[in-house]
Amino acid sequence: MESRYIYCIITAGRNEKFDLSIAGMEGAIVYPVSFDGVTAMVSSCGLKEYPVSRQNLLTHEKVIEEVMRKYTVVPVRFGTIAVSEEKVKKILEKEGGKFKDLLEFLEGKKELGLKAIFSAKGETSPHSPRGEAEGSGGKEVFIYEEILQEYPDIKALKEKIQKLPPVKTHYQRMEIGKMVESALEKKKDFYKEDILKSLSSLAEKFKINKVYGERMILNVAFLVEEANEKEFDRQVNALDEKYGDKIKFKYVGWVPPFNFVDLAIEAGRY
């Protein structure tokens, strides 16, 4: 008996025809399993468990993205496997009410992702904020010049030790590093608050995620009504113009709403 890998849940009418042709795990074709107006998109699978690898995660997400082109989806957590198609139907029968509530909540909404990153010297801001900027350390950033202007004590100490041998300024350089780090965090908090103030009112919900590297200011996901998407785009563009070469934005959408729905199905219970 072949198991079934479950990717996502959608709504579907009794006589709905599916014309999707999507390859899922191990290249198996994804197909619908329905019960009482709720449908799980699944594929046959021979494994009891899939390792959390980049390729497997990408396959899981790609299937959901393809289904999203036509349907509102509730993404199911990676690695959810039922032992048979009948078990999938049993899950839909038992949990159908919850699934319908989640689908109703997500109907007409999109998850949009935004990262704000201090620009490094030599970088230019993309023409569209839906660019490809990533945060990473190791480069001098424009914001350091602003910090030196706003914190004369840091600037004075830096100028004082510039002409001295490095071996004699170890302690002072450590102090400067701590002072700059503290100032940088204050700058990040300021810009983070301004960005969220500009965009949060246009979103149903938002979720702040972990930032990476010293340059990244904000990594946030927004759940936005489709009716508000154009205004949301306009506001992101306005932020991009406002901050010019100082801050770069990576704006991504639309993606599966993993940040707002974490559907874990314990398939073995059914």
Tell me which H or E stretch contains 130.
Answer: none
Higher pLDDT, 64 or 160: 64
Higher pLDDT, 210 or 2: 210
Higher pLDDT, 55 or 156: 55
pLDDT at 137: 45
State the residue for tokens 């059914």. 270
Q: What percent of the chain has pLDDT over 70?
A: 89
| Single-letter amino acid code for the residue at 151 | Y
Contact 143, 242 (CB under 8 A): no
What's the length of the chain?
270
pLDDT at 46: 83
Helix axes 170-199, 152-161, angle to 10 degrees: 150
pLDDT band at 260 (very low <50, low <70, confident <90, very high): very high
Higher pLDDT, 86 or 139: 86
pLDDT at 167: 78
C-alpha distances (whole Å) from 104 to each of 73, 100, 165 are: 10, 6, 67
CA separation for the pair 170, 49 (Å, rounded) = 53
Higher pLDDT, 145 or 257: 257
Residue pLDDT, tens place only, 33-82:
999 999 999 999 987 889 999 999 999 999 999 999 889 999 999 999 99
Phi, psi of 181 (to 5 degrees): -60, -45
- Among 137, 99, 95, which Cα is nearest to 267's? 95
Mean pLDDT of the chain: 86
Contact 109, 226 (CB under 8 A): yes
CA separation for the pair 64, 125 (Å, rounded) = 31
State the residue for tokens 């009418």. 13
* Lowest-pLDDT range of 78-82, 107-111, 153-157, 233-237: 153-157
pLDDT at 250: 95
Q: 3-state class of 140 per DSSP?
A: coil
Higher pLDDT, 149 or 80: 80
Residue 158, both tokens: 């830096």
CA 126 to chain centre: 20
Higher pLDDT, 249 or 121: 249
pLDDT at 159: 81
Rg of the Cα trace of the chain? 24
Residue pLDDT, tens place only, 125-142:
443 444 434 444 444 556
Contact 39, 10 (CB under 8 A): yes
Q: 3-state class of 143 per DSSP?
A: helix
Residues contacting residue 13 through CB under 8 Å, at least 6 positions apart: 37
- The predicted model gives 15-39 an average pLDDT of 86
- The predicted model gives 109-125 an average pLDDT of 80
Q: Residue 177: is its pLDDT beyond 70?
A: yes
Tell me which H or E stretch contains 258.
Answer: none
